[in-house]
Every structure is written in C-alpha cells, then in structure tokens.
Chain A
Amino acid sequence: MQKRRQKISRRRWIPTLQSRRKAAEEIPGWRKRESRNGCLFLLPSLIGTGGFVLFPFLDVVRRSFFKAAGSGFVGLENFRRVLDNGAFRLAVGNTVRFLAVCLPVLLTLSLLLAVLICRMKRVQRWIKTGVLLPMAVPAASVVVFFQMVFDRKGWLNEMLKFFGGTGKDWLMENTAFWVLTVCYVWKNLGYDIILWLAGLSGISKEQYDAAKVQGAGEWACFWYITLPQLKETAFVAGVLSFVNALRVFREAYLLAGDYPHKSIYMLQHLFNNWFVSLDIQKMTAAAVMLVIVTTGMLIFCERHWRNRNYEKRKR
C-alpha cells in the first residue's frame, strides 16, 4: 500500500495534449468555434467540388434513370442497355485484364530493382533520377519515340529482321496490349521504386546481420525478413499504381487514336466515343456503375486500413 502511494506521488502531473484539449473544450463555445472556422477554411474548395462535381453528379444519377429526350422514367433500362452493349463488355474486359497483368508486372519489377538500388550508396541518387525521369515527360512528346519503335516499319522490326526474324505491326495486333504495358511500366517504374525504397529504408540492418550469423542466404533474407515487412508498402504501391493505371489512356489514345486495336480498347475509349456521339444515357448509367464499383473498393481499402491501425495500436 505504501509502495503504491509512493509511486503515485513520485509521478508529476504533466498536461498531455488530450487533457489540454479537454480543458480547452470546457471554454464555452470552443467546439462551435473550431468547427465553424474549419468549415470556413474548407469552404472555397467545397463550393468548387460541389458545384463542378458533386451536385452535377446527382443530376447524372437522376438522368441515368430517364429517357434522353423528355422526362420518361425508364427505370433500369439504361443500365440494362449498357450491360448488353458489346463494346462495354469488351472495354470492361480489357481494362480488368490490363490491370491484372500490368499491376503485378510493375510491382515485382520495381521491387526487384528497389532491392538492388538500395544497396548502392554513391550512385543511388543518379539512378533514382534516371528512373524517375519518365514521370516528368509529357505523353505527347514521347509518343513519337514509341511510334518509331513499334511501327510496322519501325526500329523493333528492323532489329528483328537483322537477327533473322520477321516483323509485324505491333500496334495492329494483339501485341498492342503488350506495347501499352511497356509504356505503362516505363512511365511508372520510378514512381514505384521510390515507394519501395522508402519501405526498405524502414527495415533495420541488425535483422539481416542476425540472420546472416545464423547462416541465412540472400534469398532467405529477402523472403523471410524483407518481404513480410513490406506488406504496408505493397498495399500503398498497389493502390497508387492502380490509380496511375487508369491514366494510361493518354498513351493509348496518342499511340492508336479513337479506335485502337480491340485488345487495348479501354473503358476510357468507350466513354470518349460515347461523348463524341453525345450518347448521354449510356454514359450516365455507366458512370454511375463505375462510381459504385470504385466506392466499394474504397470502402474495402478503408476497412483494411482501419484494421491495420487497430493492430498497430494493440501492439
């Protein structure tokens, strides 16, 4: 009993942030003032996003249930027409396929390179600059280069001919898909390497030393020490690469135009062509569906995030 009292008396009372916040909240009107001022700071942005995106989007949702001209309510008719549309199915399939192929390719490639780069000491900065450079390049200027490489008479075919192979028109066949993947990886490799490097720098060197002492090889170190600690980074890199993958449309459009080979006909092409023909009904319905899918994915990620934070706190 006495011991315990001693312990308490020895501890000085230091006002923590929580207690200060609590103290501040007891001032009348504090909370109200805080939320009022917060809203004022947010207001300009909120007006803009509300005016340009949120409220018009509600209108889009409304339109997706109505006929084009007049005000006939058609229920889910528009949605059914979009889902039956062959071009829509093709575009969804291609987009999903593109994501399923290029995300793993990009993530593994960039991880491998990051592991190699992170050992370099002096040249690391130069290498980083080199791999990040493509990010800065406007798609418009580099498209000439890709045309030169992948055209029917392009450099790649010349090279193949030199080695005795036969060339083909890379953009007009199923290979267009791989051309686009190459463009995407070229552009985003540096971005992901930066993310991985940040994750790798968070792993302490002592662990590797300890493992080496116990006779673990390079591969075992990578598999049992590096990889498990990169889970968070992997998640972040995955999400960001996904967002960037949706932007590959630029390259696809500049390389192959409005109607590219059907292996790279993406959702973005479809929307664009619907827009040109002012097919508002289909566009609204498809947009609503896409928003629903994305929101679902976002909520999933959010949950993952929360669980992770929770686990962290438990530790």
Chain B
Amino acid sequence: MKREKDKWKRYKYMDAELFVRFVLFAVVALMLLPFIMLFTGSLMGEQELLETCGAVLADYEGETKFRLFPLYPTLRAYVRLLFDSPEYFTAFWNSVFQAVSVLLGQLAVAVPAAWAFARFRFPGKRILWILYILLMILPFQVTMVSGYLVLNGLHLMDTRAAVILPGIFSTLPVFILWKSFAGIPDEIIEAARIDGAGDLRIFFHVGIPLGMQGIFSFLILGFLEYWNTIEQPMTYLKSMPLWPLSLYLPQMVNTEIMTAFAASIVTLLPALLIFLAGQESLEQGILHAGKE
C-alpha cells in the first residue's frame, strides 16, 4: 500500500520535471526561432522568397507564407552575395576595421586605466570613478552634441576616426577590467615589489597575466558591441562607402530581397562564432559589469 503511494508520488514528481523541461525547451526554441527563420530564408531561391516573404519585403501581391524548411533549397543567395555585391563587402570590411581598431585602442587605454583604479590611491579617485560610471550609463544621444562639437572642430566628421576615436575612450571596459584587477591578491603584488619590480614591471608581468580573464571578457563584449553599433556611425558618417554593416544591412534588405537573408546570416556569423568561442568569458564579463 505504502509502496503504491510512493510510486504515485514519484510519477507526479517526474511529471513536474518533464513539464519544466518542456517549458525551458519551448523558451529556447522561441529564442532561436529568428536564427532558424533567417537561415531558412537564406536557403530559398528568388521565386520562393517572393512567394513566402515578398508581400512584406518587396511589393509583391499575395500573402506571406510561413515555411520552416525551404521547398527548393539552394545556395544561390550566398553565391550572389559573394560574387555580385561589392558594396556589401566594403561594408563588411568597414565593420571589421572599426571593431578591431576600437578594441586595440581600448586595450592600450582602458587596461592601464582599470589598473590605476584598482591598485593605486590618488587624489580625486572617488570623483573620477563616479564620473566614469556616469559616462558608462549615459545613452549615446546625451553625449552626441558634445562629441559632434569636438569632431567638427577637429574636421573629423564623416571619417572613420569619427566613430573609432570616441569608441576607444568608452568607459565600459574599465569596469569589466577593474573587477578582475581588484581581485588579484595583494600578497602577489607585495611579493613582486619586494623582489624589486617597479610599478610598470608589476603591471606587465603580474597584472596583465592575472587579469587575462577580464581582458578576454571585455574583448568579447566589446566586439559584440561594436559589431552592432548603429548610433555612432549613423550620426557621424554621412557617406555610404564608410558605413559599417550594421547600418548598411537594413538599407540592403529593403532594396534586394534576394540576398537579404543571406546577408543577415553572414553579418551575424562573426559575432556568433566569437560568442560561441568565448561564452564563458562573456558570462564572466556580464557578472563583472554588475559589481561596482
């Protein structure tokens, strides 16, 4: 009798577990749906695209159709994108150039700054720290005018530097790095100092190797951010050949339905690969950003 009851209890428990699993599975599926649909779209031929999505993206009469798998899968869209769309590649390289140079600049600027905040005491530190936090949380639009005034004064408007230079001095990486530098035990630094290392030597030989985790997280978060940046190029770049992908792609989608999905997939591919390669560091970075 008692065993029966136990058995029933176990079933009930298993049911709940199954239900939870089902819910989570559904959520993940919903989160992934955009990727799946973009991928499906990228494998369709022109006629099929017009039939399924033409009513929305082009002025095609008729209705949209929802298809999880293409009826006639083809790689034609990718081929066309590869061989027949020079503007897309210009934009792609613009994006790469922009993201890489911002990150290199941040490595040179934000890493020492974070080190200074984490390991030194100097007058005005508290106030500067609060200022840096403020700069981090202010939306771009607030500092847009002041940025414009400077860039205009330096005759840098509508050049690549207009996006890259302000990006280098963004204060977000300082925060992510700060946490990993502050976590280095004092004893190690003291030991290095007793062995006669100067501040610079300690920074390069102790700080950077031990803060590698933080540096990785900020590089990954930073890449995702600058691969995706829209506001800065939109305000500071007027000429189309300088536009990064994030700005050029929507334009392209509206004019060329054939490659719209393939172009979207190729755009998110670098970000996706970097994300999958560095998910652990990314999670660390998210957690560090929250702990002032």
Chain B 248-292 residues near chain A, CB threshold 8 A: 249-250, 253, 260-261, 263-265, 267-268, 271-272, 274-276, 279, 282-283, 286-287, 289-292
Chain A neighbourhood of B108, CB < 8 A:
44
- Which residues from chain B sit less than 8 Å from chain A, CB to CB? 20-21, 23-24, 27-28, 31-35, 37-38, 41, 53, 55-57, 63-66, 108-110, 112-113, 115-117, 119-123, 125, 128, 130-139, 141-150, 165-166, 168-169, 171, 174, 186, 190, 199, 203, 224, 227-228, 230-231, 234-235, 245-247, 249-250, 253, 260-261, 263-265, 267-268, 271-272, 274-276, 279, 282-283, 286-287, 289-292
Nearest residue (CB) in A for B187 is A17
Q: Using Cβ atoms and an 8 Å threshold, which residues of chain A touch B264?
A: 140-142, 144
Please tell me if the beta carbons of A42 and B112 are within 8 angstroms of each other in the complex. yes
The interface residues of chain B lying within 8 Å CB-to-CB of A198 are 287
For residue A139, which residues in chain B have a CB less than 8 angstroms away from its CB? Answer: 228, 230, 246
- Per-residue CB contact flags for chain A residues 102-146 toward chain B (1 = under 8 Å, else 0) read 000000000001001101100100111111111111111111111
A178 at the interface (CB under 8 A from B): no
Picked from A133, A144, A195, A268, the residue with its CB within 8 Å of the CB of B32 is A133
Residue of A nearest to B200 (CB): A37
Measured CA separation A41–B128 after assembly (Å): 14
> B56 contacts which chain A residues (CB < 8 A)?
147-148, 151, 153-154
Interface size class of A (residues with CB under 8 A): 35 or more
- Tell me the nearest residue of chain A to B55, going by C-beta: A153
Query: Please, which residue of chain A has its CB at the minimum distance from the CB of B108?
Result: A44
Contact B268 A138 (CB under 8 A): yes
State whether A35 touches B120 (Cβ < 8 A).
Answer: yes
- 8 CB contacts below 8 A, A to B, read A36-B122, A56-B146, A57-B143, A127-B28, A155-B64, A240-B289, A275-B145, A283-B144
A42: which of B41, B113, B230, B245 is its contact (CB, 8 Å)? B113
Q: Which DSSP category, helix, strand, loop or mixed, fits chain B's interface?
A: helix
User: Beyond the given A141-B263, A147-B56, could you list 16 further A-B residue pairs with CB under 8 A, ordered by the A residue number?
Assistant: A36-B122, A38-B120, A53-B143, A116-B20, A116-B23, A126-B28, A132-B275, A133-B275, A195-B287, A239-B290, A249-B139, A254-B250, A272-B235, A275-B235, A283-B145, A291-B138
Segment 138-178 of A: residues with Cβ below 8 Å from B = 138-148, 151, 153-155, 158-159
- A249 and B231 in contact (CB under 8 A), knowing A39-B122, A133-B275, A153-B56? yes
* Top 8 A-B pairs, shortest CB-CB distance: A38-B120, A48-B169, A45-B113, A56-B146, A141-B264, A136-B275, A41-B116, A130-B28
Least Cβ–Cβ distance between B110 and chain A, in angstroms: 6
| Chain B residues within an 8 Å CB radius of A60 | 145-146, 149
Interface contact A268-B292, CB-CB below 8 Å: no
A142 touches B34 (CB 8 A): yes
Question: Given the complex of chains A and B, what is the CA–CA distance between A70 and B223 in angstroms?
Answer: 43
B113 contacts A17, CB within 8 Å? no
Instruction: Determine whether A96 belongs to the interface, using a CB cutoff of 8 Å to chain B.
Output: no
Report B-chain residues with C-beta under 8 Å of the C-beta of A128.
279, 283
Q: How far is the CA of A82 from the CA of B267 in the complex (A)?
A: 39
Chain B binder among A73-81, A186-194, A223-231: A186-194
**Are B287 and A140 in contact, CB atoms less than 8 angstroms apart?**
no
CA distance in complex: A197, B292 (Å): 19
CB distance from A145 to the nearest CB of B (A): 4
A290 CB → nearest B CB, Å = 5
B272 contact set on A, CB distance < 8 A:
133, 136-137
CA distance A34 to B199 in the complex (A): 9
Centre residue among B132, B146, B286, B287 by max chain A CB count within 10 A: B146
User: Is A250 positioned at the interface, with any CB of B under 8 Å from its CB?
Assistant: yes
Query: Is A259 an interface residue when CB atoms closer than 8 A count as contact?
Result: no
Chain A residues 254 to 298 lying within 8 A of chain B, measured CB to CB, are 254, 267-268, 271-272, 275, 280, 283-284, 287, 290-291, 294-295, 298
Query: Shortest beta-carbon distance, A17 to chain B, in Å?
Result: 5
Q: How far is the CB of B118 from chain A (nearest CB, A)?
A: 10
Contacts of A243 in B (CB 8 A): 136-137
Q: Residue among A45, A56, A186 with the most chain B CB within 10 A?
A: A45
Collect the chain A residues with CB atoms within 8 Å of residue B64's CB: 148, 151, 153-155, 158
Task: Given A44-B109, A56-B149, A140-B264, answer yes or no on A195-B290 (Cβ-Cβ < 8 Å).
Answer: yes
Q: In the complex, what distance in Å separates the CA atom of A291 from the CA atom of B139?
A: 10
Residues from chain A with a CB closer than 8 A to the CB of B33 are 145
A-side contacts of B23, CB under 8 Å = 116
Chain B residue nearest to A289 (CB atoms) is B142
